[in-house]
Structures are given as C-alpha cells and as structure tokens.
Chain A
Amino acid sequence: MNQKELAVIRGTIRSNRRLDIIFAVAGFIALLVGVMAFVTLFAQMVYTGWERLNPDFFMNFPSRRAANAGILSAWVGSLLVMLVTAVSAVPLGVAAGVYLEEYAPKNLITDIIEINVSNLAGVPSIVYGLLALGVFVYAFGFGQSILSAGLTLGLLILPVVIVATREALRSIPIHIREGAYGVGATRWQVVRDHLVPYSTPGIMTGVIIGMSRAIGETAPIITIGALTFIAFLPPMPISGTAPFVNFEWLWSGFTVMPIQMFNWTSRPEEAFQQNAAAAGLILVFMTLMMNGVAIWLRYRLRKSISW
C-alpha cells in the first residue's frame, strides 16, 4: 500500500469520525429541546407557584379568593377517578391481552381485532368522552359521577394496557411455555402460574404509562360533565355501621386536577395564576410518584423472578 492510498483511507476515517461528532452534537441538541422545554416549564411553575404550596392549599376547597382557594376536592377527585380507572382497565386489559396472545386463533378476525386495538390507542380522547356521555352517563344511567369518569378513562387506557400485556408476554422465553406444557400443564395453568406472574413487571409499566396519561386528561372528563366548583368530598367509603364499606362515592359529582388548573388559568385575577402553577406542580408530582412506584414495583418483581 503506498502513501497516497493510506492518506485517502485516513481521510475517509477522519471524515467519518467528524460525522460521528456531528451526529452526537445534533442528537444532544435534540435531547436538549425536549428536556429544556420541560425544565423551563417546571422551573416556571415552581417559581410562580412555590409560595402557595402549604398544607392549607391541600386541605381547602376552591374559593373566589385566590389566597383561600385549595385543591382538596380536585386531588381527592383525581385519586378516586384513577382508582376506578385502574380497577376497570387492568383486569379487562390483561385478560384481553392474554387472550389475544395465548388463546386467539391466528385468522383474519384476530388480525382485524389487533389492528383495531392498536388504532384505538391513537383515537383522540374527546371521542372517548363523547362515547362515554352517551353510554355511561345516559344509557347506563351512571350520571355525571366518579364511576362514569373512571370508566371513561379506563376505556381510554385499555389499548395501552392490552399492548403492554402482549409485549410482556412475548418477552417471556418460549422455553418456559414449552417446559410447562412438557410436564403436562394445561393452557390455563401455564397462563395463571407462569405467564401472568412473569409478565407482571411489563404489564405494570403499561398500566402506569396509561394512568399517567389519564390523570392529565381534561377533554373527556369535561365532556361527561365534571364540575368546576365543588366544595364537599364524596361520601367516605368506610363507615362505622354495617356493612362498613359503601360505594356511594362512585355516584358522587367530582372535579379533577386539570380542570381546577384550567379554571384558575382563565381567571382574571393574577393571584389565581399562582394557584394554577402550584396545582400544576402537584399534578406533575403525582405523575412522577406513579412512575416512581412503577419503577420500584418492576424492580421488586423482577428480582423475584428466577428463570
């Protein structure tokens, strides 16, 4: 190889390295765009809303006086709606996912269902709100209640849960299935004792991603008739007299965090902007908490699996 060729090769290497660096920088900038946008928003919220974060803010009902207004009915409402969402979407989603992955025959109908499930994940949330208004609120007579809202958001995150369940099931090594079938387990036994336990971390992740989306939803909740001013809490689920538990809270009117925030941002008084920022901070914190719990659970559950 002569000097000339060597120089050409070195030149190629150098220019390729340069491309490497250029891409690294471009990638970093792309990352910064997203991260900086979030950090700026978050910093703005902290800066504006910080001084409103005191115990009273959590324990007060909404008020026309910004300084007295709090998010009690909103955070309780959000929490209860999320509870209904989880209770309705998780069993349905997991069952549907398991069926599609393990039981469903591979034919045209299954294909159509699969395509529709994936498409459902992309349907605008307001469409779910309109559907729920007709079905839950009027046809089923659930009214403008926590139950209706929870089921609506449950429908909204159902596709996410189904897809996550299927992905989780697919990631289980085929040997586990074959081994279990090999010792004579039935399909149901394989699903119950092996597949579902092993895929729980993945399913949990999907559920939490869905829930994090649901907690910030405003449009479908407004469509089904969430309230803006509500200065009382739903009835307590636990009471001193038999039957000790009751579900009256499911039928109660409610509001949620994003609606409370939206209402405050549209107020003329400047002081309400502070409240909105503080409420936004809490909402971000609630989402982070949910994600944190998901990561922790996933870690715990992964540790207990030994293949």
Chain B
Amino acid sequence: MRSMHKTVLAAACFALFASAAHADAIVKIDGSSTVYPITEAVAEDFQKSTKGAVKVTVGISGTGGGFKKFCRGETDISDASRPILKKEMDDCAKAGIKYYELPVAFDALTVVVNPKSKVSQLTVAQLKTMWEPAAQGKVTKWNQVDASFGDANLKLFGPGSDSGTFDYFTEAVNGKSKASRGDYTASEDDNVLVQGVARDAGAIGYFGYAYYVENKNKLKAVAIVNPKGKAVLPSEQAVIDGSYSPLSRPIFIYVNEKSLEKPEVRQFVEFYMKNAAALTSEVKYVPLPAKAYTANLEHIAKKKLGTVFGGEADVGATIEELMSREAKL
C-alpha cells in the first residue's frame, strides 16, 4: 500500500514537470482597459470562427503595464490607448522586439455635466481654466469659468493618473501630459464618475464615449469648441469627419513581429482588421474609415515596423495623416 502511494506520487511529480514544456496555439494579449472591449469582442468571435483550435487570452494591465509585458516578449499583442512612449520603445529595442502599430478605433473623450446644468458648450481654454494645475483650490465656482454659468459649486470628476484617458485629456487641454489639478474626485472605475456627475448639479467630468452612450439619460454631453471655432457634440459622425477635436483619439494594438510569424497570430490580426469596423460600433466605440483597416494589413505586408509617433504624445492628428507618416522603431 505504502509503495503504491509512492509510485503514484512519483508519477504525479513526473507528469507535473514533463508537462511544463507543453505549448498550445495561444494568442496572448494584454494592455489597456479602454481597448479591452474591442479586443474582447474580436477574440470572442475569432475563437468561435476557429472552433476553439486557437485560444486567445486577454488581460487588463493598463497601457503601461501591457507594454512592460510586451517588451519582455511575454505577450503577442498589446492593447494601447496611447502611442508607445520613448522609454517603452527603448525597452523593446533592448529586448530586440520589433512591432507593428495598428490603429483600430477612435475613442471620443466626452465631457459631461449634470442634466440640470446650464452649460452646453465649452472651449478648450475654459476646460483648461477648470483643470489646469494652477486652478487647484482656486477655481471652485462655475462663474469663475464664465460669468454666465452661475455661482454653483464646481465639482470635478475624472479618471485617475494611471489612465491613458487622463494622459490624453491633460495633454489636449492643459498642454502637458499628466499635468492636472489634483483636487478632483478621481476613480479608475468610470461608472463611479458617471454616478458622481449624475448626482451633483454642479458636476463636470470626462471619460470615454461608451460610458456616455450607455448613460445618456443621466448625463448631458458638452459640445467642445474645435480649433475652427465650431462647437461640436461627440458623435460617431463628428469623430470620423474630424470635427470633434481635439478630444478624439485613435487607440491601437501593437503586434510583435516575431509573433506574427506564427500562423495563429497572423490569422487573428487579419480577423481583427476585417471585423473591427462592425465590432467597434457594437461596443460603442467609433470605427476608423474602412481604408484604414486595409492600410494596416498593407503595412504588415510591407513590413512597416515601428511607431509613427516617435515616442511623443500627439493631439489632434487625423487618421489619414497618421497612416501616411513614416514609422520608426
């Protein structure tokens, strides 16, 4: 009896370590929570279309956390709600990892107020008055932004500083990424921001378009005056024609060049580009023009490696311009 136990135990140990080297057809994806709903939708349909022959896993580590894993070669694809930064480019270069940068959709950062609020449009300068670091503790009433807004208390809601949304908004509004006043209610959970703005008549907040669409009955979107002087409400149309500026941004996936040599990853990326337009709308993001997706596939075919941003944040570039830029590693 005793010796049988030992045999089983030995077999178990053997099986444990013998299986360590086992490899499956898996596509590993990690990164931004903003891009996650799109990638999840693609992964779901892709797995169905291959009848489970290829497995896809998607994690949420944030854009920065995703790039850390990506540049260590742990993931095949990285979801990113902003372009890769200089430091991350260096990390990838050090590890010998080359990549394709593929824009997959637009996200329109939406500024919302309570439905009772009189405010219906704002200029970027007015947003800056509210959100710039210098406003901390000083700008506390709506009439300090504009006399016509009344003397209600200004209550600010926004995402936390780890978020790509925060990075983009501060860059677009305050002119410097991560420069923001600190005395606002911050939450990584956008539903908390929705609740906050919905409950307070003097509240204003910003987050991704999808959260506004799902909560239209509780919130009022603010039209943003674009560089041409026209106040534009966020909408699919306004994002595509570029008039909702500067708060619309492209979001990306980054694909490891080596991984793309594996048939399952290539298959997945091709599936992504073919189905992105339909799935993007379904999860309430704004799809790119159809030619952008075909351009992505052409870029892969032509081995257009690297990023077109050079490690810098970039506000207000149109998708056509991005697609035609030279890419660098």
On whether the two chains bind one another, the answer is: yes
Q: Which of B52-60, B145-153, B251-259, B321-329 contacts A (4 or more CB under 8 A)?
A: B52-60
Q: Please tell me which one of the listed residues B12, B41, B60, B210 contacts residue A245 in the complex, with CB atoms under 8 A apart.
A: B12
> Would you call A269 an interface residue if the criterion is a C-beta within 8 Å of the partner chain's C-beta atoms?
yes
Residues of B within 8 A of A226 (CB): 59
Asked if A263 contacts B60 (CB within 8 A), the reply is yes
> Would you call B215 an interface residue if the criterion is a C-beta within 8 Å of the partner chain's C-beta atoms?
yes
Q: Please tell me which one of the listed residues A144, A227, A250, A266 contacts residue B189 in the complex, with CB atoms under 8 A apart.
A: A266
Q: Please, which residue of chain B has its CB at the minimum distance from the CB of A225?
A: B59
Q: Which of B32-40, B136-144, B263-271 contacts A (4 or more CB under 8 A)?
A: B32-40
Asked if B191 contacts A230 (CB within 8 A), the reply is no
Min CB distance, A211 to chain B, in Å?
Answer: 22
Q: Please tell me which one of the listed residues A225, A243, A250, A266 contacts residue B33 in the complex, with CB atoms under 8 A apart.
A: A266
Asked if B214 contacts A248 (CB within 8 A), the reply is no
Asked if B11 contacts A268 (CB within 8 A), the reply is no
Given contacts A232-B52, A269-B214, contact A247 B16 (CB under 8 A): yes
Residues of B within 8 A of A251 (CB): 19-20, 22
Given contacts A64-B40, A251-B20, contact A268 B61 (CB under 8 A): no
B273-289: which have CB < 8 Å to A? 279, 282-284
Asked if B19 contacts A265 (CB within 8 A), the reply is no
> Would you call B239 an interface residue if the criterion is a C-beta within 8 Å of the partner chain's C-beta atoms?
no
> Would you call B320 an interface residue if the criterion is a C-beta within 8 Å of the partner chain's C-beta atoms?
no
> Would you call A186 an interface residue if the criterion is a C-beta within 8 Å of the partner chain's C-beta atoms?
no
B187-224: which have CB < 8 Å to A? 188-191, 208, 210-211, 213-215
Asked if A268 contacts B215 (CB within 8 A), the reply is yes
Min CB distance, B198 to chain A, in Å?
Answer: 13
Asked if A246 contacts B36 (CB within 8 A), the reply is no
Asked if A64 contacts B282 (CB within 8 A), the reply is yes
Min CB distance, A192 to chain B, in Å?
Answer: 15
Residues of B within 8 A of A250 (CB): 16, 19
Counting contact residues on chain A (CB < 8 A from B), the size range is 20 to 34
Given contacts A64-B37, A64-B283, A266-B190, contact A247 B15 (CB under 8 A): yes
Asked if B19 contacts A247 (CB within 8 A), the reply is yes
Asked if A253 contacts B57 (CB within 8 A), the reply is yes
Min CB distance, B252 to chain A, in Å?
Answer: 18
Asked if B40 contacts A62 (CB within 8 A), the reply is yes
Asked if B59 contacts A268 (CB within 8 A), the reply is no
> Would you call B43 an interface residue if the criterion is a C-beta within 8 Å of the partner chain's C-beta atoms?
yes
Residues of A within 8 A of B15 (CB): 243, 245-247
Given contacts A62-B40, A269-B214, contact A229 B57 (CB under 8 A): yes
Asked if B57 contacts A230 (CB within 8 A), the reply is yes
Q: Please, which residue of chain A has its CB at the minimum distance from the CB of B208?
A: A268
> Would you call B298 an interface residue if the criterion is a C-beta within 8 Å of the partner chain's C-beta atoms?
no
Which one of B16, B30, B41, B279 has the highest number of Cβ atoms from chain A below 10 Å of its Cβ? B16
A229-273: which have CB < 8 Å to B? 229-232, 243, 245-248, 250-251, 253, 263, 265-270
Q: Please, which residue of chain B has its CB at the minimum distance from the CB of A229?
A: B58
Residues of B within 8 A of A61 (CB): 44
Asked if A229 contacts B211 (CB within 8 A), the reply is no
A263→B59 CA distance, assembly (Å)? 11
How many residues of B are counted as interface, with CB atoms below 8 angstroms from the partner's CB atoms?
44
Q: Please, which residue of chain A has its CB at the minimum distance from the CB of B16?
A: A247
Asked if B22 contacts A248 (CB within 8 A), the reply is yes
Residues of A within 8 A of B188 (CB): 266
B1-26: which have CB < 8 Å to A? 11-12, 14-16, 19-20, 22, 26
Q: Please, which residue of chain A has its CB at the minimum distance from the CB of B21?
A: A251
Residues of B within 8 A of A64 (CB): 37, 40-41, 44, 279, 282-283
> Would you call B121 an interface residue if the criterion is a C-beta within 8 Å of the partner chain's C-beta atoms?
no
A229→B56 CA distance, assembly (Å)? 8
Asked if A268 contacts B214 (CB within 8 A), the reply is yes
A268→B212 CA distance, assembly (Å)? 8
Residues of A within 8 A of B16 (CB): 247, 250
> Would you call A116 an interface residue if the criterion is a C-beta within 8 Å of the partner chain's C-beta atoms?
no
> Would you call A228 an interface residue if the criterion is a C-beta within 8 Å of the partner chain's C-beta atoms?
yes
Asked if B210 contacts A229 (CB within 8 A), the reply is no
A266→B55 CA distance, assembly (Å)? 25
If A230-B58, A231-B43, A232-B55 are given as contacts, then 20 extra A-B residue pairs at C-beta distance below 8 Å, sorted by A number, are A64-B44, A64-B279, A64-B282, A225-B69, A228-B59, A229-B43, A229-B44, A231-B56, A243-B14, A247-B12, A247-B16, A248-B19, A251-B19, A251-B20, A253-B26, A268-B190, A268-B208, A268-B213, A268-B284, A270-B214
A-B contact pairs, 25 of them (CB 8 A): A61-B44, A62-B40, A64-B41, A144-B74, A227-B59, A229-B44, A229-B56, A230-B58, A231-B44, A231-B47, A231-B55, A231-B56, A232-B55, A245-B15, A247-B15, A247-B16, A247-B19, A251-B20, A253-B26, A253-B57, A265-B191, A266-B191, A268-B213, A268-B214, A270-B214
